[in-house]
Structure 1
Amino acid sequence: MASNRPASEAPFMPSQRTESFGYGERRTDEGPWEEWNPTEDSVRPVRGRHRVAKQRGGGLARSSTVLGVGVIAAVGAGGMASANTGKPPVSISLPDLPSVEHLPSVGSLFDDSAQETHQGSATALSDVATAAPEAVHDTADAGEALRNRIMAQAEQQQSQVEAKARAATEAAAVKKAQADAAEAKKEAEAKAAAAKKKADEEAKKKAEEARLAELAKQYTLPTSSYTITSTFGQAGSMWSSGYHTGLDFAAPTGTLIKAIHSGTITEAGWAGAYGYRTILTLDDGTELWFCHQSSISVSAGQKVSTGEVIGRVGATGNVTGPHLHLEVHPDGQPTGIDPMAWLNGKGLTP
Structure 2
Amino acid sequence: MASNKPASEGSVATAAPAEPYRFGRGEGNEPERTWGEWNPTEETVRPPVRGRHRVTKQRGLARSSTVLGVGVIAAVGAGGIATAQDKPAVSISLPDVIADNLPDGKSLPGIGSSGTGTADKKSEVAEALAQAPLSTAGLTVADAEQGATDAGEALRARILQQAEQQQAEAAAEQRAAAEAAAVQQAASAAKKQQTQAEKDAAEKKAEAEAAAKAKAEQERIAKLAASFSLPTSSYTITSTFGQAGSLWSSGHHTGLDFAAPTGTPVKAVHSGTVKSAGWSGSYGYRTVLELDDGTEVWYAHQSSMTVSVGQKVATGDVIGRVGATGNVTGPHLHLEVHTAGGTGIDPMSWLQSRGINP
Gaps of 5+ in 2: 1-64, 67-132, 139-148
- Is 1:346 the equivalent of 2:354? yes
- Is 1:297 the equivalent of 2:306? yes
**Runs of 4 or more consecutive aligned structure 1 residues displaced over 3 Å after TM superposition:** 134-140
CA-to-aligned-CA distance 1:200-250 (integer Å, 9 cap, x gap): 111111112112212222111101111112221222222222222111111
CA-to-aligned-CA distance 1:279-325 (integer Å, 9 cap, x gap): 00011111000111111111111111111111111122222222111
Query: Helix, strand or coil for the counterpart of 2:231?
Result: coil
CA-to-aligned-CA distance 1:252-284 (integer Å, 9 cap, x gap): 111110011111101111111211110000111
- Partners in 1 of 2:211 and 2:261 — Cα distance? 41
Q: What are the equivalent positions in structure 2 for 1:1-350 lying under 5 Å apart?
A: 141-331=150-340, 333-350=341-358
Contact 2:232-2:267 within 8 A present in 1 as well = yes
Query: What is the TM-score when the length of structure 1 is the normalising length?
Result: 0.59
Specify the code of the residue in structure 2 equivalent to 1:320. T
- Partners in 2 of 1:236 and 1:167 — Cα distance? 85
CA-to-aligned-CA distance 1:108-142 (integer Å, 9 cap, x gap): xxxxxxxxxxxxxxxxxxxxxxxxxx667879822
Cα distance, 1:287–1:182 mapped onto 2, change above 3 Å: same
- Partners in 1 of 2:222 and 2:215 — Cα distance? 10
Specify the code of the residue in structure 1 equivalent to 2:209. D
Cα distance, 1:223–1:161 mapped onto 2, change above 3 Å: same
Q: Considering only aligned residues, what root-mean-square deviation do their CA atoms show, in Å?
A: 2.3
Q: Aligned-pair distance for 1:335?
A: 2.3
Percent of aligned pairs sharing the same letter? 64
Contact 2:285-2:325 within 8 A present in 1 as well = yes
Deviates most, 255-264 or 335-344: 335-344
Aligned length: 220
CA-to-aligned-CA distance 1:146-205 (integer Å, 9 cap, x gap): 211111111111112111111111111111111111111111111111111111111111
Query: Helix, strand or coil for the counterpart of 1:242?
Result: coil
Larger radius of gyration: 1
Specify the code of the residue in structure 2 equivalent to 1:166. R
- Partners in 1 of 2:308 and 2:330 — Cα distance? 25
Query: Helix, strand or coil for the counterpart of 1:200?
Result: helix
For CA contacts below 8 A with separation 6 or more, give which structure has more relative contact order: 1
